[in-house]
Structure 1
Amino acid sequence: MPRVVVFDEFGGPDVMHVVEEPVVEPAAGEVRVRIEAFAVNPLDQMMRSGASPAPVPLPHARLGVEGTGVVDALGPEVTEVALGDPVILTAIPDASVRGSYAEYTTLPASRVVARPAGLGITEAAAIWVAYSTAYGALVEKARMRPGDHVLITAASGGVGRAAMQIANQIGAVPIAVTRHTAKRDELLSAGAAAVVAVDDKGFVEAVRHHTGGTGADIVLDVVMGPGQLDLLKAARPGGTLVAAGFLDPRPTPFPSGPPLTIFSYRSFEHTLDAVVVKRMAAFMNAGVRLGALRPAIDTVFALDDVVEAHRHLENGPRAGRKIVVTP
């Protein structure tokens, strides 16, 4: 029988175990996907440990919000995909029930898109969450345009790396924000036009230097916390800040400084919208075809080693490179 990763209590990586379950037939409007690879995300760690903001029912909870595979079965009334189609999973809002940490899963046919040609299986497993988040925040929310100077926090993370690539694809100017100047060369190689360090007392002046004295047109803040005040000072009057993360658990002060448009963004805002998902998929296909978009892979584990994959996740940052598991 097919294998699936489940956990019956909250805790460390060891609470996960692999079990066998009968294959499930897709309901009306659903497809069954044979999973070829899935990525390990921080949200998975939060769900497993009990830190998820959304409730996770126990026992026998599942994990996994992204992955790639082949359509294995069609439910009634499905016409938009066919048997054997290679696809990417775009949203699994009930990941605790039918997450991608498995050999098979079922989900609505509207929640899969065609896998971009030229993208390897491990890369396809790791592209959607980071790139759809960065695209949604910058393109759909902030309306990023060619020539915009875009200040990107946590630039060495998965969303940050995706944001730099997406900005370059559009013709904007990505300015990477990092805590450590030692990452400068690595971030420049990853696509940054310039790198500024938050531990530098001249942070705001450095941003203005790289923007011709005007300040950033768009700020993508996936960190939040007290450091947001400096980001606001580094933005131009009339610019846009998109708050799309919460890496810093400390309180974020009330915004002050130049007049800005401020958005709060969560990826499910767009990944559950079929019209926007169609635009996202078209953008990613074009980016992959042109060589502008390419996720970086850190380590690939087998399904039986999923506990080790989570231990590796907890060991620390991987410069935006994703951990992937192949059933």
Structure 2
Amino acid sequence: MPRIVVFDEFGGPEVMHVVEEPVTEPGAGEVRVRIEAFAVNPLDQMMRAGASPAPVPLPHARLGVEGAGVVDALGPGADGLRVGDPVVIAAIADAHVRGSYADYTTLPADQVFPRPAGLGVTDAAAIWVAFSTAYGALVEKAGMRPGDHVLVTAASGAVGRAAIQVARQIGAVPIAVTRHAARRDELLAAGAAAVVATDRENVVEAVHRHTGGAGADIVLDLVRGPGQLELLRAGRPGGTLVAAGFLDPRPTPAPETPQLTVINYRGFEHTLDPAVVRRMAAFLNAGVRLGALRPAVDEVFALTDVVEAHRRFEKGLHGGRKIVVEL
């Protein structure tokens, strides 16, 4: 019998448990995917803990917003795919109902796309959320262009690392921000043109030094909170700040005289738009083919060890890399 990870109450990793249920037949325009692997995401942890920005009905809630697998069945009108096709899941907005922490899930056909050639199942399971968030924020929202100086906060995290690679593929100049100077060499190796370590440097001064005094054309704020005011001062007047993260739970103060356009971004506004998903998938395919885009993966767990996978995530032992569970 197929397995599904569910939780009946909010709490720590131990509230998750595996149950067995029959598969669901795909309806009109839907596809059933046999999941081969999924990645652990911050939203999964927030849903499980009861801190999700959207309500999660209990009991028997599912988890998982991304994953990779194989098309198992097609509903009427699900065109463009065939049974047996390897695919990546683009977005699961209603993860509490269709989550990827399962042997099978059924989704609208436009929420999956063919797996890029040369991408193994582990990387395929870990690539979508981070890279689609980075692409959506920098390309779709901020209009990033070749030559732009792009300041990336929380650069050691999954989205930050993806943003560095996305900027490089476009021809922009990524400047990574990290709290720890010990991360400098790692981020330079990941593709950052320069690294600003806030335990040793002032962000505004360092960014102006790296940009010839102009400031960053685009700031990707994956943290928010009070520190955003300093990031605004590091940007070029007339530039853009995209707030796409939520790592700092403190309120983000509004600037008195903003010199940058501030855009609040949530990935689902694009990943539920089939036209944007097609652009994202094309960009990922090109980047994977060129060897320019690749997720950083931490440990790989079995489904029976999903509780331990979440514990590792909560302790921060993954160092910003993606934790993957294979089925």
The TM-score range, normalised by the shorter chain, is over 0.9
Shift in Å, 1:198:
2.5
2:254 maps to which residue?
A: 254
Question: Could you tell me which residue of structure 2 aligns to residue 192 of structure 1?
Answer: 192
List structure 1 segments (4+ residues) > 6 angstroms apart after TM superposition.
none
| TM-score, reference length from structure 2 | 0.98
Deviation at 1:200, TM superposition (A): 3.8
From the superposition, tell whether residues 201 and 38 of structure 1 become closer, same or farther in structure 2 (CA, over 3 Å): closer
What are the within-5 Å matches in structure 2 for residues 1-327 of structure 1?
1-200=1-200, 202-257=202-257, 259-316=259-316, 318-327=318-327
Shift of 1:96: 0.3
Shift of 1:258: 5.5
State the 1:42 CA deviation.
Answer: 1.0
Q: Once superposed, what is the RMSD of the aligned Cα atoms?
A: 1.0
SS at match of 1:126: helix
Q: CA deviation at 1:245?
A: 1.0
Q: Quick one: which amino acid aligns to residue 162 of structure 1?
A: A
Contact 2:232 2:259 in 1 (8 A): no
Give the CA deviation at 1:40. Answer: 0.6
Instruction: Note the C-alpha offset of 1:324.
Output: 0.5
Q: Which amino acid in the other structure matches residue 248 of structure 2?
A: D
CA displacement at 1:317 relative to structure 2 = 5.2
Q: Tell me how far 1:234 sits from its aligned partner.
A: 0.7
Deviation at 1:121, TM superposition (A): 0.2
State the alpha-carbon separation in 2 of the partners of residues 158 and 317 from structure 1: 13
TM-score, length of structure 1 as denominator length: 0.98
C-alpha distance in 1, partners of 2:293/2:98?
28
1:7-32 Cα distance to aligned partner (Å, 9 max, x none): 11111111111111011110111010
Distance 1:55 1:219, change over 3 A: same
Q: Percent identity?
A: 78
d(CA) in 2 for partners of 1:317 and 1:261? 35
Q: 1:55 to 1:269 in 2, by over 3 A?
A: same
Mapped partners of 1:17, 1:81: distance in 2: 32
Partner secondary structure for residue 18 of structure 1: strand
Which consecutive residues of structure 1, in runs of 5 or more, have no partner in the other structure?
A: none
CA distance in 2, matches of 1:4, 1:260: 45
- In the alignment of these two chains, the number of paired residues is 327
